């Protein structure tokens, strides 16, 4: 019976494919392999492979240096690479919007100017990752690329990243409440119609950006998340946890990749056979798990991806 490949390799409607899983599972290799396959099979489409993993290794998979500037991948005319520097994006964001954020804090809190300056200089947990996903959404919005293939950070970081848009919506609501007092004062005591300022524009911009990210991640027609696992207990546990989070956030999962699957094809080495039997046990465990059955269309090992 001919091998039927996973849908993310052939689905021409997809605009964003995310690969995630435990560190060392092979997600970067699969992201790079998928980017090459899609670029070679769809010559009329521009493909961008992006890494948000703080320990970038996407360039190593392609055999080229990739930094935080868009770079063509050697030998493939419609494939580019980018390793996002999230802390730099956050620093640029803070510089661009420092005035508006400090204005909001000044209007809506009892902090003095020094307190506000000290707070602003702190690294806000997770905000750099928000900037990374907003950057990806903006790249798609601009239409410069037809498909983005995203190599995410290991599972823990990815779960935090997926939760951030919802958390950011709560922060934006707090900002809006802080600004509401200023709006009220501006109309109640002057009798004039309120005129928006840069603080209002900042709130509106963040509302649009976060809304666009949420819509992108939840759009099953154009976005698919592909978990990558290996048949070992810790990797299976992390994948189950990731699948539960993806389900909660309504992010589409149609295929799970099982890497490092060893097949018994005339192996006569007792030690090798023992390893094969052990891995087969965990493959069966994955197939029995309700989470894997709900989300799992097919399990693929690395050799099958190319053939």
- Nearest CA to 175 out of 249, 124, 229, 136 is that of 124
The active-site residue, picked from 53, 151, 176, 209, is 53
The overall longest dimension of the chain from CA atoms, in Å, is: 89
* Segment among 183-192, 195-204, 232-241 with least mean pLDDT: 183-192
Q: Once rounded to an integer, what is the mean pLDDT over residues 105-112?
A: 66
Best mean pLDDT range from 30-34, 259-263, 275-279: 30-34
Looking at the chain, the number of H-run helices and the number of E-run strands are 12, 8
Tell me, what's the pLDDT at 306? 36
- Place 182 in a pLDDT band, splitting at 50, 70 and 90: confident
Q: What pLDDT, on a 0 to 100 scale, did the predictor assign at position 304?
A: 38
Confidence label for 13 from pLDDT (cuts 50, 70 and 90): very high
Q: Are 300 and 6 in contact (CB under 8 A)?
A: yes
Q: Beta strands 256-258 and 147-151: pairing type?
A: unpaired
Per-residue pLDDT tens digits for 212-247: 989 999 999 999 999 998 877 788 888 888 998 999
Kindly tell me if the per-residue pLDDT of 300 is higher than 50: no
Active site residue 53: yes
Please provide the average confidence, as pLDDT, over all residues in the chain.
Answer: 79
| pLDDT for the residue 298 | 39
Q: To the nearest whole percent, how much of the chain has pLDDT over 90?
A: 24
What's the predicted TM-score (pTM) here? 0.81
pLDDT digits over 118-158, tens only? 555 555 556 667 778 888 888 888 888 999 999 988 887 78
φ, ψ for residue 258, nearest 5 deg: -105, 110
Kindly list the domain boundaries of the chain, sorted by start residue: 7-86+133-161+214-306
CATH H-level superfamily of 7-86+133-161+214-306: P-loop containing nucleotide triphosphate hydrolases (3.40.50.300)
CA distance 149 to 36: 10
């Amino acid at each position: 019976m001919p091998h039927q490949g996973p849908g993310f390799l052939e689905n021409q409607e997809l605009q964003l494919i995310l690969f995630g899983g435990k560190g060392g599972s092979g997600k970067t290799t699969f992201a790079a392999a998928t980017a090459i396959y899609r670029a070679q099979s769809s010559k009329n489409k521009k493909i961008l492979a992006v890494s948000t993993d703080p320990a970038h290794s996407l360039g190593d998979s392609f055999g080229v240096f990739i930094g935080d500037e868009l770079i063509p991948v050697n030998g493939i005319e419609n494939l580019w690479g980018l390793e996002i520097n999230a802390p730099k994006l956050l620093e640029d964001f803070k510089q661009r919007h420092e005035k508006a954020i400090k204005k909001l804090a000044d209007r809506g809190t009892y902090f003095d100017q020094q307190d506000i300056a000290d707070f602003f200089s702190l690294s806000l947990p997770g905000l750099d990752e928000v900037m990374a996903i907003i950057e990806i959404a903006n790249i798609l919005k601009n239409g410069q690329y037809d498909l983005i293939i995203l190599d995410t950070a290991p599972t823990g970081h990815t779960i935090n990243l997926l939760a951030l848009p919802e958390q950011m919506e709560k922060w934006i609501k707090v900002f809006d409440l802080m600004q509401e007092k200023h709006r009220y004062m501006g109309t109640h005591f002057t009798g004039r119609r309120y005129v928006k300022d840069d603080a209002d524009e900042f709130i509106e911009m963040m509302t649009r950006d976060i809304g666009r990210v949420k819509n992108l991640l939840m759009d099953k027609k154009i976005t698919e998340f592909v978990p990558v696992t290996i048949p070992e207990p810790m990797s299976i546990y992390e994948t189950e946890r990731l699948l539960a989070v993806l389900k909660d956030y309504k992010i589409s999962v149609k295929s799970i990749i099982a890497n490092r699957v060893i097949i018994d094809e005339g192996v006569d080495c007792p030690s090798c056979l023992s390893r094969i039997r052990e891995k087969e046990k965990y493959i069966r465990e994955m197939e029995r798990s309700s989470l894997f059955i709900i989300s799992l269309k097919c399990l693929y090992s690395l050799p099958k991806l190319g053939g």
